[in-house]
Amino acid sequence: MALSAPLSRSRHNFFFSDPTTHSPRWPPPPQQLKRKLQLKGWNLRGPGSTATSWSSRANAARAAPADTAKLSQFPLFQPPSAPDSPSELEPADPDFYKIGYARNMTAYGIEFKEGPDGFGVYASKDVEPLRRARVIMEIPLELLLTISQKTPWMFFPDIIPIGHPIFDIINSTNPETDWDLRLACLLLYAFDREDNFWQLYGDFLPSVDECSSLLLATEEDLAELHDPILASTMKQQHSRVLDFWAKNWHSGVPLKIKRLARDPERFIWAVAIAQSRSLKMQLRIGALVQDKNMLAPYADMLNHSFEPNCFLHWRFKDRMLEVMINAGQRVVKGEEMMINYFKGQSNNMLMQRYGFSSPVNPWEPVEFSGNARIHLDSFLSIFNIAGLPQDYYHKNPDQTSRTGDTFVDGAVLAAARALPTWSDGDVPIIPSSEKKAAKELQEECRVMLTKFPTTVAQDEKLLDSMSPSRITLEAAIKYRLHRKLYLEKIIDALDIYQEHILF
């Protein structure tokens, strides 16, 4: 049962040792009424009785709605209404909270839930917009695994004893290019360290079968990307990790090293976790300021969004990593709290690092080879887009838009960046020339679509019939599907552009 905390900064109301013992006490009802409720399946808590969970009461309420209506004259005895929650989401195990609370991790007004796609962080109450950012999570430095990117390299926490061979393995790498290998070594050692926090937290990390990183994909899975460049890149990354494991986990290494990763799959998984769940931040600890790669427990459960409602902040005075709600951000109960993993990166880079893609990535490029150009300002005006190219955004939906507000999304912003355009001061556009250029660009997009062996409908059908156990294959098919949906979006946008170009 997931337990949440109010947004007040009390540190002792977020984690409970036994969730069933903290349900509110109900006043003892009259014996006659109590007997009736017990006959209906209710286990009312009174003096000397055992605690009842909220879910059991809600189930009993659904089982006998007609009978509970008779008790309207006793509102205190009515079963609590079941809270609305996103479908297919289950509260996180209470132990997930306990292991962090015991080590001074705190959170305010949020709860962790698990669904088909893994963990997520959700608001447990409405939050009104404020002029200042509001803290919802604090993770102390002692829980982080960090390694600096430049020499002299440092890591924290200082859990590796002097003379341990894992130190030599980490020291043999390049701090700037091999950050993922170094962080994976530190993670595996933390798993092996007795009474270390990561031994417990590791139970909540995705397993090999649950991780979508392409490092764990087979050659058949990579072929389904329909992107030879990305497939070749991932094969090189896979070989790099295997070579590192073979070099440092050979048969002659001490047992204290061998047990960290007895097989290459274990080490590849650790590198995949380091790549997909790590953060890159500049930390100040005392007088030292360094760029560090880090694994931050609990914060790594935040999912990605191109329009995030949260951000990360390092509070150097208390050596705390903070998750904060954006200033002026309104949050509704049940809304997922999200951050932006990688600003300005294409789906290709997101797949390499995290194993996912998006059809509405505002930074997805398209390479056009023709000479057709459309007028930039006219295109932006029709779709109500403002800002400089690196900061394009859709203006307030309440403002007048010729196309309808639901059409403009990240893919249209990406199209505004990717389409070949022209802009020459006050030179007026010629509608016939603009329509001709738009048609040529549409035809080039259609040619790109024909180069894929499958269609959008075939990919969607394949995803619907796929076994959920092949998560890397699913990620590969979604990648090519999202590329096709993006090209179709450009074609539709150019259709709208031609319809409105005269006005």
Mean pLDDT of 464-470: 81
The answer to whether residues 149 and 278 touch, using CB atoms and an 8 Å cutoff, is no
Quote the pLDDT of residue 33.
41
501 pLDDT band (50/70/90 cuts)?
confident
Rounded to 5 degrees, φ, ψ at 118 are: 105, -165
Instruction: Work out the pLDDT band at 25, boundaries 50, 70, 90.
Output: very low
Q: How confident is the model at residue 397 (pLDDT cuts 50, 70, 90)?
A: low
pLDDT band for 5, please (50, 70, 90 cuts).
very low
Identify which has the larger pLDDT, 25 or 133.
133
At residue 404, the pLDDT reads 52
Estimate the crossing angle of helix 471-500 against helix 410-418, to 10 degrees.
70
**429 vs 455, higher pLDDT:** 455
Strand partners, 453: none
The pTM of the full predicted model, rounded to 2 decimals, is 0.80
Can you tell me the distance from the alpha carbon of 118 to that of 125, in angstroms, rounded to the nearest whole number? 22
pLDDT of residue 440: 97
Question: Residue 301 above 80 pLDDT?
Answer: yes
Distance CA 346, CA 360 (A): 11
DSSP 374-405: EEHHHHHHHTTEES-GGG-EE--TTS--SS-T
- pLDDT category at 239 given cuts 50, 70, 90 is very high
**148 against 58, higher pLDDT:** 148
Any bridge partners for residue 110, and if so which?
A: 123
How far apart are alpha carbons 120 and 113 in whole angstroms? 5
For the chain, the first-to-last Cα distance in angstroms comes to 57
According to DSSP H, which parts of 179-304 are helical? 179-192, 197-201, 219-223, 228-248, 255-258, 264-277
The predicted model gives 64-88 an average pLDDT of 48
| Lowest-confidence region among 48-52, 308-312, 324-328, 342-346 | 48-52
